[in-house]
Amino acid sequence: MQELYAYIKDCDNVLIASPIYFSELTGKLLDLGSRLQTYFCAKYFRKEEPIIKSKKGAVILVGGGDGNINNPYDTARILLRHMNCHNIHEAVFSHNTNISPAI
């Protein structure tokens, strides 16, 4: 994570891309996302500003079924805000990859 923290601090924008698992981002992505809680702690408890640079954010989702993207998109936006992304693009997504290719 130390390498990722340094990268997140410096990068211009953040794009989160994930398949939808159980109406959520994948568990692996949430594992990584949970380590971003350090930014929340820095702000909320220590009153620090861990990431100075403001970034834009975007989210790409694919799902096998025809459900909706609200849950994973909401979660992705929480993660993006943890990384100081404020200008977050509307979700780009593809449903029904069980029967048609995501492309």
Ligand X SMILES: Cc1cc2nc3c(=O)[nH]c(=O)nc-3n(C[C@H](O)[C@H](O)[C@H](O)COP(=O)(O)O)c2cc1C
In the complex, which residues of this chain contact ligand X (CB under 6 A)?
19-23, 62-65, 67, 97
Minimum distance from residue 75 beta carbon to ligand X (Å):
13
CB 57 within 8 A of CB 13: yes
Bridge partner residues of 103 (DSSP): none
In the complex with ligand X, the residue whose CB is nearer, 9 or 19, is 19
Buried b (16+ CB within 10 A) or exposed e, 67-88: eebeebbebbbebbebbbbeeb
Residue nearest to ligand X (CB): 63
Nearest-Å Rg of the Cα atoms of the chain is: 15
Backbone angles phi, psi at 25, to 5 degrees: -60, 160
Minimum distance from residue 101 beta carbon to ligand X (Å):
10
In the complex with ligand X, the residue whose CB is nearer, 20 or 85, is 20
In the complex with ligand X, the residue whose CB is nearer, 5 or 21, is 21
Minimum distance from residue 65 beta carbon to ligand X (Å):
3
In the complex with ligand X, the residue whose CB is nearer, 19 or 60, is 19
